[in-house]
């Protein structure tokens, strides 16, 4: 066997692969397969199926299985020496749940390489489709589970997060309530990540602590199923869930199906899969406690790593287990790039005009504040959208451009305070991070250097690096995470944006004012 490691990422819209040649410290191959385009027969749009109720969003697990066959065939056809792959790991879109019946384990164990995964697994599900993270139809179940556990803050303290519509526990409860017979016929429930790992292993895979933390079902400190949360969710649930294990667990050798069909080495090991966000944390180089990355995308996302478990008393942020040890947080702000775009468009600007406006206005915006809740917001929880201006004329284009970005950074600063540690630097990714002017505001508000960090396929890369780490650990030589991830996730010090002199004091003074504006606006728009 060579020194290759395969990382897969089964995300919402595609299955991606990154093959890492660890001896050479380089990426050998990247590939991606878009579900809508490659597998049109499932009739997904953007990887999902929507019903009459727009809140219901599902996807077919058979499509994910077929994509795995296709991806392996593609890698083989494109000359990747699959026999040199030492270990495979992966990541899945978080929270989604796959419901299988009693025939699934035997079907996995007896997979015939002359037939496809799709043909052999077709009858193995007690529910043909899996609810995914975009499903928001479980508000009643969230309330019920939360009430049983003593409220949002208590559930967050117990499982790492308050109840969220997209989390697995509420999805399971809804299935049990609305389709009790099908729930009864369910022998087991997998996450997207552990379902995919099961296919590779030829038996039901455990759930890793990283993705398990996104279920509202796992005790975030003791790292085992939380009995009271299980009981509050659905009867008999404990018997349907596999064990939870650390993210670096080697789950076993690859199934003979993949050895015979695609030429993988019979001793190649499958390392448990994790969620896409925990894997992305590794692929972005967040491998030590106290590191922070901010992704400026459709939504803005704040990731941070922590040595100890601390949960958000307001129940706004999520705590997952970090694959590098310790914990990580994910705080999602819905009004990200679309809010920036709304303000840009309102003044007829292009992105360079928007950047010029940022450069032309001073830190602190002469006291002007804007709350850009164009859409309902996740953090802080805003159900009724609205844009609120304080000491800011709605006609002042440059000040409004600065105000939207300052508000986004202020909100991240305010709503990540519960993590309780100072930031020494930030890695900034996503489309918005291409703007140095936006990153300068980030550096000024956060008071630390910001490193532009371009990543594509960070989850698949993170999965490959997790496979590297687990494999070396298995061999009794656990390398430092910095060594494993360092070569693939370096930042360039010369590119850092540093806080402008004097900006720290401006934003220290502005934070309490911003917080007060939020409270005032929430007082008027909470429903
Ligand atoms: C995280 C979340 C999404 C999914 C899909 O809580 O819901 O990021 O993991 O990527």
Which ligand 1 atom is nearest residue 318's CA?
A: 6
pLDDT score, position 95: 98
Q: How far is the CA of 210 from the centre of ligand 1 (A)?
A: 12
pLDDT score, position 527: 40
Q: How far is the CA of 91 from the centre of ligand 1 (A)?
A: 11
Q: How far is the CA of 134 from the centre of ligand 1 (A)?
A: 8
pLDDT score, position 91: 97
Q: How far is the CA of 167 from the centre of ligand 1 (A)?
A: 10
CA dihedral 421, 427, 433, 439 (to 10 degrees): 50
Residues of the chain with pLDDT under 50: 526-527
pLDDT score, position 525: 53
**DSSP state letter for 122:** G
Q: At what angle do helices 139-149 and 152-159 cross, to 10 degrees?
A: 80
- For ligand 1, is residue 334 a contact (CB within 6 Å)? no
Is the distance from CB of 282 to CB of 102 less than 8 angstroms?
no
- For ligand 1, is residue 388 a contact (CB within 6 Å)? no
Q: How far is the CA of 276 from the centre of ligand 1 (A)?
A: 7
Whose C-alpha lies nearest to ligand 1, atom 2? Answer: 94
pLDDT digits (tens, 9 = 90+) for 417-467: 999 888 999 999 999 999 999 999 999 999 999 999 988 899 999 999 999
How many Cα neighbours within 13 Å face the side chain of 272?
26
- For ligand 1, is residue 94 a contact (CB within 6 Å)? yes
- For ligand 1, is residue 186 a contact (CB within 6 Å)? no
Alpha helices in 44-179 (DSSP H): 61-77, 104-109, 117-121, 139-149, 152-159, 168-178
Whose C-alpha lies nearest to ligand 1, atom 7? Answer: 133
Nearest one of 112, 99, 91, 70 to 197, comparing CA atoms: 91
Is the distance from CB of 349 to CB of 243 less than 8 angstroms?
no
pLDDT score, position 303: 95
Distance CA 333, CA 329 (A): 13
Distance CA 149, CA 339 (A): 35
Continuous segment of H or E residues that includes residue 8? strand 4-10
How many Cα neighbours within 13 Å face the side chain of 39?
26
pLDDT digits (tens, 9 = 90+) for 313-329: 999 999 999 999 999 99
pTM beyond 0.85: the answer is: yes
CA separation, residue 199 to residues 35, 194, 290, 514 (Å): 18, 9, 35, 49
Beta bridge partners of 419: none
Distance CA 358, CA 379 (A): 24
- For ligand 1, is residue 16 a contact (CB within 6 Å)? no
Q: How far is the CA of 517 from the centre of ligand 1 (A)?
A: 29
Distance CA 402, CA 411 (A): 14
Distance of CA 281 to the CA centre of its chain: 9
- For ligand 1, is residue 164 a contact (CB within 6 Å)? no
Distance CA 155, CA 149 (A): 6
pLDDT score, position 194: 98
Whose C-alpha lies nearest to ligand 1, atom 6? Answer: 94
Beta bridge partners of 382: 377
Q: Give residue for tokens 């695609």.
A: 262
Q: Is 416 exposed, middle or buried (CB count within 10 Å of its CB: 0-12, 13-18, 19+)? A: buried
Sorted by sequence, the CB contacts under 8 Å of residue 54 that are 6+ apart come out as: none
Which ligand 1 atom is nearest residue 330's CA?
A: 6
Distance of CA 399 to the CA centre of its chain: 33
Nearest one of 97, 115, 232 to 163, comparing CA atoms: 232
Q: What angle do CA 451, 454, 458 make, to 5 degrees?
A: 115
pLDDT score, position 524: 65
3-state secondary structure (DSSP) of residue 73: helix
pLDDT score, position 257: 98
Distance CA 226, CA 470 (A): 26
- Is it true that the peptide bond before 350 is cis, omega within 30 degrees of 0? no
**DSSP state letter for 112:** -
Is the distance from CB of 31 to CB of 159 less than 8 angstroms?
no
Sorted by sequence, the CB contacts under 8 Å of residue 417 that are 6+ apart come out as: none
């Amino acid at each position: 066997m060579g020194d290759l490691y395969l990382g897969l990422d089964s995300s919402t819209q595609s299955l991606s692969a990154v093959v890492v040649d660890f001896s050479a410290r380089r990426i050998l191959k990247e590939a991606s397969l878009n579900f809508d385009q490659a597998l049109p027969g499932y009739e997904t749009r953007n990887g999902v199926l929507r019903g009459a109720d727009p809140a219901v969003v599902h996807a077919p697990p058979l499509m994910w299985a077929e994509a795995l066959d296709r991806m392996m065939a593609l890698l083989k056809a494109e000359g990747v020496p699959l026999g040199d792959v030492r270990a495979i790991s992966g990541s899945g879109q978080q929270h989604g749940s796959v419901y299988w019946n009693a025939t699934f384990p035997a079907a996995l164990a007896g997979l015939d390489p002359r037939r496809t995964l799709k043909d052999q697994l077709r009858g193995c599900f007690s529910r043909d489709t899996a609810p995914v993270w975009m499903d928001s139809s479980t508000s009643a179940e969230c309330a019920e589970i939360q009430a049983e556990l003593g409220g949002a803050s208590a559930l967050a303290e117990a499982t790492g997060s308050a109840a969220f519509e997209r989390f697995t526990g509420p999805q399971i409860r809804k299935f049990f309530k609305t389709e009790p017979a099908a729930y009864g016929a369910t022998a087991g429930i997998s996450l997207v990540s552990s379902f995919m790992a099961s296919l590779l292993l030829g038996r039901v895979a455990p759930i890793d602590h990283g993705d398990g933390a996104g279920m509202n079902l796992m005790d975030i400190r003791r790292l085992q199923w939380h009995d009271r949360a299980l009981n509050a969710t659905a009867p008999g649930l404990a018997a349907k869930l596999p064990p939870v294990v650390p993210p670096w667990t080697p789950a076993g050798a690859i199934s003979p199906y993949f050895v015979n069909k695609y030429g993988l080495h019979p001793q190649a090991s499958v390392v448990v899969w994790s969620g896409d966000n925990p894997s992305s944390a590794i692929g972005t180089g967040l491998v030590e406690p106290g590191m922070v990355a901010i992704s400026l995308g459709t939504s803005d996302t704040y990731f941070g790593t922590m040595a100890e478990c601390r949960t958000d008393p307001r129940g706004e942020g999520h705590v997952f287990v970090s694959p590098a040890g310790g914990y990580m947080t994910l705080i999602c702000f819905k009004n990200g790039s679309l809010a920036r775009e709304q303000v840009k468009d309102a003044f007829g600007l292009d992105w360079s005009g928007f950047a010029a406006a940022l450069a032309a206005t001073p830190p602190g915006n002469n006291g002007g504040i804007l709350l850009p809740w164009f859409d309902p917001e996740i953090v802080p929880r805003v159900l009724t959208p609205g844009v609120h201006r304080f000491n800011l004329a709605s006609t002042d284009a440059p000040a409004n451009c600065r105000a939207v970005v300052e508000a986004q950074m202020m909100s991240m600063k305010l709503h990540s305070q519960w993590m309780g540690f100072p930031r020494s630097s930030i890695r900034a990714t996503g489309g918005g991070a291409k703007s140095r002017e936006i990153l300068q505001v980030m550096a000024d508000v956060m008071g630390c250097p910001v490193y532009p960090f371009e990543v594509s396929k960070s989850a698949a890369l993170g999965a490959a690096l997790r496979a590297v780490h687990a494999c070396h650990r298995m061999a009794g030589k656990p390398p430092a995470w910095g060594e494993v991830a360092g070569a693939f996730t370096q930042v360039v010090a010369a590119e850092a944006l540093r806080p402008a002199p004097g900006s720290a004091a401006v934003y220290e003074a502005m934070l309490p004012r911003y917080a007060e504006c939020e409270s005032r606006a929430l007082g008027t728009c909470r429903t």
